[in-house]
Amino acid sequence: MKLIILDRDGVINFDSDQYIKSPAEWKPIPGSPEAIARLNQAGYRVVVATNQSGVGRGLFEMDTLNAIHEKMHKTIAAAGGRIDAVFYCPHAADAKCDCRKPKPGMFERIAACYNIDLTSVPAIGDSLRDLQAAEASGALPMLVLTGKGKKTQAEGGLPDDTLVFDNLAAAVDDLLS
């Protein structure tokens, strides 16, 4: 089975320092829905792994998070693609949970659900914590320069094997070439 793990905010959709708190605030990065469709067509299962501390901070409810994800699913379906599963950490940063990236707990859940070793599974994110979670689970860290990606690259400290791309569409071009 071919699997790919994507972060949500900054990779699939535009990010916000004030959090994405409603479906109206969720806006796809141009080319991302089509890139996900191309992954599906190439036989990839696409899963999202996203920290959503806005729930734990009380900025929005689970119903709102579900509505945001419903909009994401519909947008990607309209481009001919699908996301097979969404894994998320709803906890605030101070919760000391194992599922919040950069800890690998969410990636370990993905591996268990799909009964797969994550070694060399592409994991695309825009923040250092995305890349650290990928590295800790044996996945292949890939940085996109959308969202917080340019800042992440400038700050350095990336895992040694990190691949860097302008956006999700460029990363998918490389994977499928």
Task: Measure the CA–CA gap between 145 and 171, rounded to whole angstroms.
Answer: 10
pLDDT at 93: 86
Which residues does the annotation mark as catalytic?
A: 7, 9
Residue 120: what residue type? S
Q: Is the pTM of this model over 0.95?
A: yes
pLDDT digits 0-9 by tens, 36-67? 999 999 999 999 999 999 999 999 999 999 99
Mean pLDDT of 108-132: 97
pLDDT class for 7, splitting at 50, 70, 90? very high
The overall average pLDDT reported for the chain is 97
CB-CB contact of 141 with 129 (8 Å): no
Q: Order of strands across the sheet with 44-51?
A: 85-89, 44-51, 2-6, 122-125, 140-144, 163-165
pLDDT at 129: 97
pLDDT at 171: 98
pLDDT at 150: 98
What class is the 2-176 domain? Answer: alpha beta
